[in-house]
Amino acid sequence: MTIMKIGKSGIKTPRISMGTWAIGGGTWWGDNDDSESIYAIHCAIENGIRWIDTAPVYGLGHSEEVVGKAIKGRRNQVILSTKCGLNWESTKGTYHKIIDNTAIYRDLSAKGIRRDVEESLKRLGTDYIDILYTHWQSEEPEHIPIEETMGELMKMKEEGKIRAIGASNVNIAHIGEYMKFGQLDVIQEKYSILDRKAEMLMLPFCETYNISVQAYSPLEQGLLTGKVSTETKLRAGDVRNNNIWWQLANRGLVTSMLNSWKPIADKYNCTIGDLVIAWTVKRSKNINVLCGARKAEQVRENVKAEFIGLKESDYDRMTKEADNLLKRSKC
């Protein structure tokens, strides 16, 4: 697999990584078989995926616990990232949202970060985290200056509890502040062939300052796998009900476009989802593509995308048709 460097951290990883949001289960994703989730993570490792991403808030600790069980005895085979800054154990910080009937608060204070990391280390069964992201940025009325946040992160890096610092769901101003007070190596940002807002400023900025970008939701929560139709029903509470691309009018446009790509997928002997991941990998050498999975067969499909070798003519056609869809959609 093609290897990329993560910022200036010295950490190297294949271009495709595994996301474990859905493994956390809960109201948004429904029940999971934890043994199947663990097997999926083992499958990822055995098929060359090194970077496993999780977060405390995924299933309110459950995703981290499952990941911890999966990497037991395999810790040196993985690059492990998790996050800090979303707290449900106290009301300190600014209200974020309700998850599984639990109020979540944004708290990026030094004390809050320390608490989050210590709890994550316990759930993950490890004594260090390779990459620690701030999950969502601090807001009023209890805004914490990035100087305080980054100061604690740099301290934990010196202590060996984390190897690299990342920030998720940020803007250019946030990134500039992080850079003032320490070394920021990677950001995690939503990016897909249907959601390319990051291309306007974020990607060029990060390329200039040697900050890697880990793209989440590259398949728009499963919509771009080619396995979804306008007849697909989502249960009440499913997180995908909040995704504008899953709305029926837009879903019809997307499925029509994906169906037109079937001959391209057949040429490469791959799935539509593989094709979309391959497009995302090709978009920028600075992008790591975070592919969510909770079953081994999903992992195996995601890995195939790395070896497609998408030709320029097919890449250009996909880009042009996606551009046209974006113009016609309600997004």
Angle separating helix axes 312-328 and 272-283, nearest 10 degrees: 100
DSSP 75: G
CA atoms within 13 A on the CB side of 310: 26
What distance in Å separates the CA atoms of residue 196 and residue 220, rounded to the nearest whole number? Answer: 12
- H or E element, residue 288: strand 287-292
- Preceding omega of 204 cis (within 30 degrees of 0): no
Question: CB-based burial of residue 12 (10 Å sphere; 0-12 exposed, 13-18 middle, 19+ buried)?
Answer: exposed
**Amino acid residing at 275:** L
- Give dist(CA 314, CA 304) in Å, integer: 17
Residue of 195, 194, 139, 193 lying closest to 170 (CA atoms): 139
Q: Which of 39, 58, 95, 178 does the annotation list as catalytic?
A: 58
Give the count of beta carbons closer than 10 Å to the beta carbon of residue 313.
9
C-alpha triplet 144, 216, 79: angle, nearest 5°: 85
Strands 12-14 and 212-216, by their bridges, are: unpaired
Check if the beta carbon of residue 267 is closer than 8 Å to that of residue 293.
no
Please, is 299 exposed, middle or buried when counting C-beta atoms within 10 Å of its C-beta (0-12, 13-18, 19+)?
Answer: buried
Start-end of H helices in 72-125: 110-124
**Which two three-digit tokens encode residue 48?**
């060359």
Amino acid residing at 172: I
Q: Is 58 a catalytic residue?
A: yes
Question: Which residues are the active-site residues?
Answer: 58
